[in-house]
Amino acid sequence: MLPTVALIGRRNVGKSTLFNRLIRKQKALTHDRPGVTRDRLYAEVPHGEPPFALVDTGGLVLDESDGVEADVFEQAREAMEGAQLILFVVDGRQGVSTIDEQLAAFLRQTDKPVRLVINKVDGAELEDTLSAEFYALGFPLSAVSAAHGYGTLTLQEEIEETL
């Protein structure tokens, strides 16, 4: 069994885009439309040193208005069980939302290593504008652009160092 890294976070922060970037394939379904049904996905990153497995979450959202937040927590719980490292993904352009705060509180209770991944930082210059709110969540953090690849190689090294 490969060490497993779980991507956790609310919808539309870019988990599936990051999953695709790290596995370098287009396997996870990414979608602009909120509320679309998406399943948890698993892929191996054989070029990792060490090789590792990645679990994407964010599926099974049946309705925009119904049960969405509960779903995020349920999936987080499930994904965490089998994971050696949790990547807590947030949207760097939106700042810390209420769900992010709640997820952070939830993730502080685990003994497993958690890394905050601030996504949608589409260029190095944006890294300086990251708000103190992110640092205040209290996790080691990485700034990336899953869409453009900025920071994702560094993130992969940080993942590998933890495993």
Using CB under 6 A, list all residues that contact ligand GDP: 9, 11-17, 30-32, 58, 119-120, 122, 145-147
In angstroms, what is the minimal distance from the CB of 14 to ligand GDP? Answer: 3
For residue 149, count CB atoms less than 10 angstroms from its CB and return exposed for 0-12, middle for 13-18, buried for 19 or more.
exposed
Three-state DSSP at 112 gives coil
Q: What is d(CA 159, CA 155) in angstroms, rounded to the nearest whole number? A: 6
**Piece in contact with Mg ion (CB under 5 A), picked from 40-48, 50-58, 81-89, 109-117:** 50-58
Query: Is the Cβ of residue 48 or residue 58 nearer to Mg ion in the bound state?
Result: 58
Enter the tokens of residue 74. Answer: 């349920």
Tell me which of Mg ion, ligand GDP, none is bound by residue 141, counting a contact when its beta carbon lies within the kind-specific cut-off of 5 to 8 angstroms: none
> How is residue 66 annotated by DSSP?
B
Q: How far is the CB of 50 from ligand GDP (least distance, A)?
A: 25
- CB nearer to ligand GDP: give 17 or 156: 17
Is-contact 89 7, C-beta < 8 A? yes
